[in-house]
Amino acid sequence: MFTWFREKHDFLQYVEEIKPYQLAAERYLSLQREVRGYCAVCQGVRTFKVNSGVYLGDCPNLREGLICECGLSNRNRLIYLAISKEINSDMKGQLAILERTSVLYQKLKEKYPEIIGSEYVGEGMPSGSFQDVCGIKVRHESITQLSFGSSSLDLIVHNDVLEHVFEYRKAFDELYRVLKKEGCLIFTCPFLFMLDRELQRARILEDGSIEFLMDPEYHGDPIRPEGALTFYHFGWGLLKDLTQCGFTDVKLGVLYDVFSGFVSSNHPDYNYGNMLPIIIRAVK
């Protein structure tokens, strides 16, 4: 079950408590090829493939790894679980997730047939239009200019998108606009618990060119083979930004559960790079 935090100070206390167990568990996992564990999506004990081929230094990235037989990684199973906790069976609400080509979308669609999936397909396309992506019709949505009507959604979800959005505060304004009153935003992004404010890695200049403030970092992208440029690593200021955009009950949830394959990214620099299994939740 998620434990919720609003303040860095409280979270750091929690981190100190789990740290010895966390490091031992993740060192053990890193050395395995496969482990058995409980999949919150399959709702049973399954085999997890530990290493997805994504590394942080020499360490397998366990946030992208621990892939269940159903195809979902640690990060994707965590967000699936967070979504399922928001939706009780009699809810007839409108859900949207800003991904469409992923296994996570397929799994959500099986359980919530009404869910709307979309991708950021490319620049200059109108949000809400359908584009051909590898032979399937995919709805294009830009997180800073969504086509959803104001106050039209009960739940909106994005999963490691925000770090690629230069104008991320504009994205928060849009997410707020499209939610109904008491509607809920759930998302993940690189969130480094030692940071007070975000670390900006790159920016877009007025002429549209990109200035790199650090070594460029790209993340795997289902649509762009070159990957998606990372503008930010976020910290606790992100929760304040959400509050400033009007959201209430802004909090960070962590669910550290080794048997369920919910462990950290396994970053070799614990103090800077370590990303615990967290989600961020905010209510309109």
Q: Which is nearer to Zn ion, 120 or 262 (CB)?
A: 262
50 contacts Zn ion (rule: CB under 5 A): no
- Binding segment (CB under 5 A) for Zn ion, from list 36-44, 79-87, 158-166, 185-193: 36-44
Owner of token pair 């991320």: 168
- Measuring CA to CA, which residue among 186, 138, 132, 181 is closest to residue 158? 186
Which two tokens mark 38? 């409980």
191-229 as b/e: b if 16+ CB within 10 A: bbbebeebbebbeeeeeeeeeeeeeebeeeeeeeeeebb
Q: Which is nearer to Zn ion, 68 or 98 (CB)?
A: 68
54 contacts Zn ion (rule: CB under 5 A): no
15, 41, 108, 185: residue in contact with Zn ion (rule CB under 5 A)? 41
283 contacts Zn ion (rule: CB under 5 A): no
Find the shortest distance in angstroms from Cβ 233 to Zn ion. Answer: 29
42, 194, 202, 258: residue in contact with Zn ion (rule CB under 5 A)? 42
- Binding segment (CB under 5 A) for Zn ion, from list 38-46, 177-185, 196-204, 211-219: 38-46
Q: Which is nearer to Zn ion, 74 or 274 (CB)?
A: 74
* C-alpha–C-alpha distance, residues 66 and 47, integer Å: 9
| C-alpha distance from residue 58 to each of 63, 128, 209, 268 (Å) | 15, 41, 33, 8
Q: Are 284 and 242 in contact (CB under 8 A)?
A: no
* C-alpha–C-alpha distance, residues 14 and 82, integer Å: 20
81 contacts Zn ion (rule: CB under 5 A): no
Contact set for Zn ion, span 199-228 (CB under 5 A): none
Q: Are 178 and 151 in contact (CB under 8 A)?
A: yes
Strand-pairing partners, residue 232, are: 200
18, 23, 70, 199: residue in contact with Zn ion (rule CB under 5 A)? 70
25, 39, 78, 276: residue in contact with Zn ion (rule CB under 5 A)? 39
Find the shortest distance in angstroms from Cβ 47 to Zn ion. Answer: 9
29, 50, 56, 68: residue in contact with Zn ion (rule CB under 5 A)? 68
Which chain residues interact with Zn ion by CB under 5 A? 39, 41-42, 68, 70
